[in-house]
Structure 1
Amino acid sequence: MSSYTGVNIGKRALVTGASSGIGAAIARELAALGIDLVLTARRRDALEDVAATCKGVKVEILTADLGRPDAARTLWDSATASGPIDILINNAGFGYFRRFDEVDWARDAELIQLNMTSLVALARLFVDSHKASAERAHMVNIASTGAYQSVPHMALYAASKAFVRNFSEALHDEHHGTPLSVTCVCPGGTKTAFHAESGGGDYSRIANASMNSADFVAHATIRAMLGGKRTVVPGLFNKLSCFGVRFLTRRFASRIASQVLGQPRFVLPARSQP
């Protein structure tokens, strides 16, 4: 953590999707820096477990289902009731590993709401709250290496992350030279519950070997955020993949993605209830 020494950072962070995986790891990383936390996800018991690992800071837990319309506004009002938010980590999201026509519309509608609409709503509320402020503020939006190409069997998920990447990079450029910094993070495969919940996991040897831990991604995320980076792709293999895809035709890149990810599992798990 010595690389963070002397950096002027905010005092309070809102982390969405903080109940497990990358969100939980980011929460612990921020706590180690002395940042007070507002953690949100759908499951309070899981949030309480994460909060117990965030030592030495104030941790507020807010349950919210950002897959529902208008949930972002309610969450923001609750999060800011006890003080301003200096760091926004838009991490909440989900995907499924299936053909588009094999999944019902309700699941797609929730994915669009969670991965894009609620993210944009929180971004707008955060930006508006810092328009007149001279204090440093940081927004981090979690995308994916899937943002760099089409991904068969994850068509809507990858498309949503391409949206997040383009949106985040534009915001970064709009606020260049201001106290507000926007960073997009594009993780590749990460060792979290995402794969089981998406119905994936029957991946190739390359995909399995290139996976990073959530802690690795979280550390790269906070380092990039504090450095004011525009976009970061954690992991050497992921960096090479995202760089190399620009030299391929889009059709060939899509075919390679299919080979690397393998075939979907037979059963797609139901979405867990809050």
Structure 2
Amino acid sequence: MNTTNIGKRALVTGASSGIGAAIARELATLGVDLVLTARRHDALEAVAASCKGVKVEIVTADLGKPDAAHALWAAATASGPIDILINNAGFGYFRRFDEVDWARDAELVQLNMTSLVALARCFVDAHKAGTAPAHMLNISSTGAYQSVPNMALYAASKVFVRNFSEALHDEHLGTPLSVTCICPGGTETAFHAASGGGDYSKIANASMKSAEFVAQAGVRAMFAGKRTVVPGLLNQLTCFGVRFMSRRSASRVATQVLGKPRFVLPRRSVS
């Protein structure tokens, strides 16, 4: 990896576990100082302790709340500029749309889309006139490639993230600011238990990747200035294959691959 374009300080959202924590550790190995944020302070402290050799700051925040993104940005930049933005925070549920309380859906929209856009705007505004390299990595999902029954709103939010990210990438071609979207498939994190999923098919289980695998793929793609990356060969083949299916067929296949929701829907957990 060419280290000359690596930024000096990164803001990682949803950094208390899973992909966010793995990305934080991956950036630390490259000598990038970190600002880690999530709702759970104790979990953030544990992740910070695992990021050796760099400066790590913790900002506890709930990006599911309105205006939290701007307060987070102010806190993160109080002691220096942010050269890298990792928009990882998000959550989803595996349940019929009409079986979930509206307040939870409103929180999902706020966290997965509105706060992501707010942070992206802060980051772009800070770097649009700059000459130094700046990198944004937005975490979407293979769910962005088709509708996903029982994850209707989550998958739709990831379609938004993918399209938004790719448009920003194209808008900033030829500038020091790059925007990359990563679309992981199933990843070995607490997301599945927290979302109410887990009764997956053999195909879904075979395509599972570790959070570390996804983090490495995302960080490499980000510093290479790539537009979109889907980590894992089976996931790549799946996303490519849906192009040759009707949208209804792709939706039905998604239903078969993901199986049935669990009976009890757990409490929200940020990924």
Q: Please indicate, yes or no, whether the TM-score normalized by the shorter chain is above 0.5.
A: yes
Spell out, residue by residue over 1:87-127, the C-alpha distance to the aligned partner (whole angstroms, 9 max, x if none).
00000000000000000000000000000000000000000
- Per the alignment, residue 135 of structure 1 pairs with 132
Alignment partner for residue 146 of structure 1, among 138, 143, 147? 143
Alignment of 1:10-29 (within 5 A): 10-29=7-26
- In the TM superposition, residue 208 of structure 1 has moved relative to its aligned partner by 1.0
Spell out, residue by residue over 1:105-161, the C-alpha distance to the aligned partner (whole angstroms, 9 max, x if none).
000000000000000000000000012210000000000000010000000000000
- Per the alignment, residue 74 of structure 2 pairs with 77
Q: Per the alignment, in what secondary structure is the counterpart of residue 229 of structure 1?
A: coil
- In the TM superposition, residue 5 of structure 1 has moved relative to its aligned partner by 4.1
Contact kept in structure 2, 1:67 and 1:113, CA below 8 Å: yes
Alignment partner for residue 110 of structure 1, among 107, 110, 122? 107
- Residue 207 of structure 1 pairs with residue 204 of structure 2: yes
Q: Per the alignment, in what secondary structure is the counterpart of residue 7 of structure 1?
A: helix
Contact kept in structure 1, 2:91 and 2:268, CA below 8 Å: no
- How many equivalent pairs are there? 270
Q: Provide the rounded CA distance (Å) in 2 between the counterparts of 1:213 and 1:195.
A: 13
Contact kept in structure 2, 1:94 and 1:115, CA below 8 Å: yes
TM-score (norm 1): 0.97
Q: Mark the CA change 1:272 to 1:169 in structure 2 (over 3 Å): closer, same or farther.
A: closer
Alignment partner for residue 224 of structure 2, among 224, 227, 230? 227
- Residue 193 of structure 1 pairs with residue 209 of structure 2: no
Contact kept in structure 2, 1:79 and 1:85, CA below 8 Å: yes
Moved more, 198-207 or 39-48: 198-207
Q: Per the alignment, in what secondary structure is the counterpart of residue 199 of structure 2?
A: coil
Contact kept in structure 2, 1:96 and 1:197, CA below 8 Å: yes
Question: 5+ unaligned residues in a row in structure 1: which ranges?
Answer: none
- Residue 176 of structure 1 pairs with residue 173 of structure 2: yes
Q: Provide the rounded CA distance (Å) in 2 between the counterparts of 1:157 and 1:164.
A: 11
Q: Provide the rounded CA distance (Å) in 1 between the counterparts of 2:198 and 2:218.
A: 24
- Residue 61 of structure 1 pairs with residue 58 of structure 2: yes
Give the counterpart letter for 2:31 in structure 1: G
- Per the alignment, residue 248 of structure 1 pairs with 245
Q: Provide the rounded CA distance (Å) in 1 between the counterparts of 2:268 and 2:116.
A: 20
Give the counterpart letter for 1:232 in structure 2: V
- Residue 125 of structure 1 pairs with residue 125 of structure 2: no
Contact kept in structure 1, 2:9 and 2:83, CA below 8 Å: yes
Q: Per the alignment, in what secondary structure is the counterpart of residue 188 of structure 2?
A: coil
Contact kept in structure 1, 2:146 and 2:250, CA below 8 Å: yes
Question: 5+ unaligned residues in a row in structure 2: which ranges?
Answer: none
- In the TM superposition, residue 271 of structure 1 has moved relative to its aligned partner by 2.4
Q: Provide the rounded CA distance (Å) in 2 between the counterparts of 1:199 and 1:10.
A: 37
Q: Provide the rounded CA distance (Å) in 2 between the counterparts of 1:203 and 1:261.
A: 5
Q: Provide the rounded CA distance (Å) in 2 between the counterparts of 1:222 and 1:35.
A: 12
Contact kept in structure 2, 1:7 and 1:226, CA below 8 Å: no
Q: Provide the rounded CA distance (Å) in 1 between the counterparts of 2:212 and 2:10.
A: 18
Q: Per the alignment, in what secondary structure is the counterpart of residue 58 of structure 2?
A: strand
- Residue 164 of structure 1 pairs with residue 141 of structure 2: no
Q: Per the alignment, in what secondary structure is the counterpart of residue 179 of structure 2?
A: strand
- Per the alignment, residue 89 of structure 1 pairs with 86
Spell out, residue by residue over 1:166-209, the C-alpha distance to the aligned partner (whole angstroms, 9 max, x if none).
00000000000000000000000000000000000111111112
- In the TM superposition, residue 272 of structure 1 has moved relative to its aligned partner by 5.2
Q: Per the alignment, in what secondary structure is the counterpart of residue 209 of structure 2?
A: coil
- In the TM superposition, residue 270 of structure 1 has moved relative to its aligned partner by 2.0
Q: Per the alignment, in what secondary structure is the counterpart of residue 258 of structure 1?
A: helix
- In the TM superposition, residue 220 of structure 1 has moved relative to its aligned partner by 0.1
- In the TM superposition, residue 7 of structure 1 has moved relative to its aligned partner by 3.2
Q: Provide the rounded CA distance (Å) in 2 between the counterparts of 1:94 and 1:268.
A: 13
